[in-house]
Amino acid sequence: MERSSWYKNMKSIWKRFHFTQILLLLGCLFALIILIFIYPFSSKADISAIETGLSQPTIIYDKNGDEASKISANKNEGVYIDDIPEHMKNAVIAIEDHRFYEHNGVDYKGIGRALVRNIKAGQIVEGGSTITQQLTKNALLTSEKTYERKIEEIFLSREIERKYSKNEILQMYLNQIYFGEGAYGIKRAAQKYYAKDVEELTLSESALLAGLIKAPSSINPYQDEEKALQRKDVVLNQMKKHGFITEEELEKAKAEELVFNDGGGDPLKGKYPYYVDAVLEEAMDTYDLNLDDLLTKGYHIYTELDPAMQAMVEKTYTNDSLFPESTGERQVQSGAIFIEPTSGGIQALSGGRGEHTLLGHNRAIHRVGQPGSTMKPIVPYAVAVEEGWNITDELKDEKMDFGDYSPNNYSGTYKGKVPMYEAVKDSLNLPAVWLYNEIGIEKGTKMAESFGIPEEAINPNLGLALGGTNVGVSPQNMAEAYSVFANDGVRVKSHTITKIDDQEGNTIAEWDGNKEEVISKESADKITSMLLGVVDYGTGKAAKIQGREVAGKTGSTQLPIEGTNGTKDQWFVGYTPQLVGAVWVGYDQSDENHYLTTTSSEGTAPLFKEMMSNALTDKEVQSFNVQKVDGLIQQQQQQEQRKEREERIQSEIQRFGDWFQQGRDRIDEWFR
């Protein structure tokens, strides 16, 4: 009776003070606060970030059309929903969000259930998150467990459900969720645990992967196989409970013996990094593609890459014994490139030694230093032979000044006059500058430009004959220039890319085969004749490959620090009928503590030989079919030997005459 009276009194008080309306008002006020402070954030939030799971890697193909490398912006690689088995999708839905197809991104029943559990526990122990909410949290929010973040998650999840279909949401979720052991996304997970493609996953394998999502670090089979298998059975039971599989399928899947096999990451991802960098830069600079698209849009880029040659070059660059020792704490750096002269195709390159940085300093294609004497075959000698000079014509080799310019021969000695081929063979400076002065600077600068030397590097003065450029050049610049000699006077622009297809297979860019005749074949042959002499008899002997014709030129630049005798840059640029290569060695930044102490004949020439000889292994031996300077050199050597003999005889005659005269003088004195 008392209890009944108490209830009546409370009911009367409740009605008198309008508690129902007050609670409704407070609820509306709370909702309004949420709308004021949270909704504007969620409505303006950029939810496009969740689409990263849809991105596809760009695939790089070699010259044979085979996949050679992959590059992407993401740690995971996307798979289309249609390529994911139904039992894989159903396993995830059954264990993570069995009402996925019924709610609009937020399962209010699940939230209520989680709220009750959290109140009982006195802390947040359950989130009640749907697949959409998990996707939201992983892509757009932090992982902190607060009610404020939960409210943000709810609004954003509803926004995602409005913009995307259920299949799109599930696709993004499966491509981004973490499965443990460094495996982000279902594609990586299938490789990590079973070494197979997603399409090949069985029901039992799928159930185990779905079970990992809850605690990927603690229940994966590589950490605790028994726990992982128990979790797999929990998933299978949930699939049976929610009608995704039959009893027969359940028992068969539980009985299946799983074999775990770590297939590792994609073996193509990150392969040939410096070459891939060159491809990306060319795609951006030549074909106006942006980097974001190149890393996410799934392009198929076909290239001139020779994978065997590239692997060889990369291996060579790990052999420290082939490079000069450092004079300071920084490592001596290097860049090399190899180009097929008739096509201009870059077949292999190395952008440096040590750790690679994506799109960092690529010393094969970026400026590294002045070219030194490797410029001489272009300026002045290509200009001269094109103007009608012969390789046997004599050039002045005397110490002389050209206004305020006073070059020296490296040896400090001078012969008075030398034939052109000998000046090239011995890399004499004075004859090159004298000849350049004779033919004219304007002709030289035009020739350098036509050979592909960058305009900003071309110095309009006599120093260009010795490689004195305004700015540094790259191995790519020099190899492309020398390809003119190997390709009968025709320059083909060097390139890595032959074609770019989009994800659907449509060709969006293609190499146009741009070529230009720079000098005549006769002139190119004359230069080749002289450069063969450099390798056979001159400063490039260390680049000689037994049984093959190699033409090339050494080059170096002096350290511009007074009182320090050292070398800043070393070069060797050379070619065979099939391949042109350029090698640079030096420091990224030279100073009084960081410089080279060897010459190009000791540093870059042997390095060039190592790579060129390996690159030509199993390739047909070919000849330039040009006049060799061997006979001329031998004739010159015979003339010099004859001259030495004559000078020696004359010296002996003079000495005998002096002795005879001294004897007569003494006899005359006696008779006086």
Whole-number Å distance between alpha carbons of 407 and 671: 59
- Sign of the torsion angle spanned by Cα atoms 395, 401, 407, 410: positive
pLDDT at 35 over 50: no
Nearest to 607 by CA among 278, 309, 313: 313
For residue range 356-368, what is the model confidence (pLDDT) as tens digits?
988 999 999 999 9
H or E element: which one contains 61? strand 58-61
Contact 455, 672 (CB under 8 A): no
0.85 exceeded by the pTM? no
Number of C-alpha atoms within 13 angstroms, CB side, residue 133? Answer: 25
CA distance 206 to 461: 72
How many angstroms separate the Cα of 355 from the Cα of each of 194, 331, 426, 594? 31, 11, 37, 19
Check pLDDT > 50 for residue 32. Answer: no
Banded pLDDT at 143 (limits 50, 70, 90): low
What kind of architecture, by CATH, is found in domain 58-76+270-369+473-628? 3-Layer(aba) Sandwich (3.40)
CA–CA separation, 290 vs 300, rounded Å?
Answer: 15
- Which DSSP string do the residues of 246-269 spell out, in sequence order? -HHHHHHHHHPPP------S-TTB
Q: Which fold is adopted by the domain 78-255?
A: Penicillin binding protein transpeptidase fold (1.10.3810)
Phi, psi of 325 (to 5 degrees): -70, 150
Residue-level pLDDT at 104? 85
3-state secondary structure at position 196:
coil
Catalytic residue positions, numbered: 96, 373
Q: Which of 178-182, 250-254, 372-376, 639-643 has the lowest mean pLDDT?
A: 639-643
pLDDT of res. 436: 98
Average pLDDT over residues 329-357: 95
Average model confidence (pLDDT) for the chain? 87
Contact 351, 361 (CB under 8 A): yes
Least confident window among 346-350, 356-360, 430-434: 356-360
Q: Which of 27-41, 59-73, 363-377 has the highest mean pLDDT?
A: 363-377
pLDDT tens by residue, 379-424: 999 999 999 999 999 999 999 999 999 999 988 999 999 999 999 9
Beta bridge pairs of residue 473 = 369
> How many Cα atoms within 13 Å fall on the side-chain side of residue 178?
14
**From residue 413, how far is each of 48, 464, 558, 646 by CA, in Å?**
71, 22, 18, 21
Confidence of residue 38 (pLDDT cuts 50, 70, 90): very low
| Structure-token pair, residue 438 | 């004779």
pLDDT digits (tens, 9 = 90+) for 250-267: 999 999 999 999 887 777
pLDDT reported for residue 369: 95
Centroid of chain to Cα 450? 28
Buried-state track 439-465, b at ≥16 Cβ within 10 A, e below 16: bebebbbebbebbbbbeebbbeebbbb
**Cβ proximity of 204 and 176 under 8 Å:** no
Higher pLDDT, 293 or 384: 384
- Whole-number pLDDT of residue 474: 98
Q: Is the dihedral of CA 281, 285, 288, 292 positive or negative?
A: positive
Domain ranges of the chain: 2-37, 58-76+270-369+473-628, 78-255, 389-465, 629-672
